[in-house]
Amino acid sequence: ACFPTFECPAMTSQINRQYQLAQRPSGLPGRDTFSFVETPLGEPAEGQILVKNEYLSLDPAMRGWMNDARSYIPPVGIGEVMRALGVGKVLVSKHPGFQAGDYVNGALVVQDYFVGEPKGFYKVDPSRAPLPRYLSALGMTGMTAYFALLDVGQPKNGETVVISGAAGAVGSVAGQIARLKGCRVVGIAGGAEKCRFLVEELGFDGAIDYKNEDLAAGLKRECPKGIDVFFDNVGGEILDTVLTRIAFKARIVLCGAISQYNNKEAVRGPANYLSLLVNRARMEGMVVMDYAQRFPEGLKEMATWLAEGKLQSREDIVEGLETFPETLLKLFSGENFGKLVLKV
């Protein structure tokens, strides 16, 4: 009960539950991918902080971090606590940049408490937005949508923008921004309820339920003038089909390829890539971390749109650190509806 101060002797017996990476999965990760361990909670040393983790961001990218492969970030090591961004409350600070009581956003990893150097951490204000929103529209997810669409996709007024994974965290924000820029926006999502949400609640011009209708026919119906910008979160067959309907000088933003992350075989590449040649189009990858310096600019505009009611952010919050392995799988089955957040 005397937590959170170190004057309290009970503190030293505090337990920190952690999900450590136990083995590298082949295909979908499962409970045996991780060990759920209880470790004693240490005290922060000079330059470190102790944070009570409140919400963790569950991201498709986590699957990639489990692979022993070269990527834009090193993989999580076996025995290391699984990497995750999160928001939490500083309980003790021995770092000049933070004080007890501050709320922070950073790589808190999959555990109850974070003790360490707050490298890359920044403060968030819980009085301005609910904490989970700092992991969705006002966090890495929102910044991905914002910079991938505007900087890489460069949509122009009147153009047609198609988004895959459109009802997801990144896709739903990217689509709304494209609408704000005066584009015709068509979402591709799984299931009638997600498609209804896109059109009726987020104002998309059209939606295609790739699980229950023919995608090529849907694209023909919704994009009669072709596709100027394709914001791809999914890859695989969806990317290949969209390539058959791109317009002259189209831009394809490679944000993600979730359909390929759990492949046991080689990633499926686009067979229809000659469409890029014929249409003088380009396809470009994007990693949000490259835009870290510009986050303040993006966050300011996103916060304004949210405050003005021009942008909606939907979070899908699941409770309980212990549910992490099963909750993560919702991303790959499509069971999440909005930004998937784990309440610790």
Nearer to ligand NAP, 88 or 256 (CB): 256
Stretch that binds ligand NAP, among 106-114, 121-129, 184-192, 240-248 (CB under 6 A): 184-192
308-312: long-range contacts (C-beta < 8 A, 24 or more apart)? 310/176, 310/180, 311/137, 311/173, 311/176, 311/177, 311/180, 312/172, 312/176, 312/201, 312/202
Each residue 41-80 as x (binds ligand NAP by CB under 6 A) or -, in order, gives ------------------xxx-------------------
- Choose which of 132, 139, 155, 171 interacts with ligand NAP (CB under 6 A): 171
Chain residues 313-342 in contact with ligand NAP, contact rule CB under 6 A: 331-332, 334, 336, 340
Based on the shown chain and the rule CB under 6 A, indicate whether residue 136 belongs to the binding site for ligand NAP. no
Min. distance of Cβ 189 from ligand NAP in angstroms? 4
Q: Judged by CB under 6 A, does residue 241 bind ligand NAP?
A: no
Torsion of Cα atoms, 52 then 55 then 56 then 57, to 10°: -150
Please tell me whether residue 190 binds ligand NAP under the rule CB under 6 A: yes
286 makes contact with ligand NAP (CB under 6 A): yes
Q: Count of residues binding ligand NAP (CB under 6 A)?
A: 30
- Interacting span for ligand NAP (CB under 6 A) from 14-22, 82-90, 257-265, 274-282: 257-265
Question: Which residue bears the tokens 């003088």?
Answer: 280
Q: Which of 105, 144, 241, 327 binds ligand NAP (CB under 6 A)?
A: 144
Amino acid identity for residue 128 in this structure: R
Give the span between the Cα atoms of 288 and 298, in whole angstroms.
12
CB of 94 to ligand NAP, least distance (A): 32
CB of 136 to ligand NAP, least distance (A): 9
Round to whole Å and give the CA distance between 128 and 299. 13
Chain center to CA of 307: 22
To the nearest whole angstrom, how small is the minimum distance from the Cβ of residue 118 to ligand NAP? Answer: 22
Under rule CB under 6 A, residue 229 binds ligand NAP = no
Strands 49-57 and 34-40: unpaired
Peptide bond into 4 cis (omega under 30): yes
Cα distances from 11 to residues 29, 40, 61, 151, 222, in angstroms, run: 34, 10, 34, 47, 59
Q: In whole angstroms, what separates CA 248 from the centre of its chain?
A: 30
Contact 198, 204 (CB under 8 A): yes
- Tell me which residues touch ligand NAP (CB under 6 A): 59-61, 141, 144, 165, 167-171, 189-191, 194, 233-234, 255-259, 286-288, 331-332, 334, 336, 340
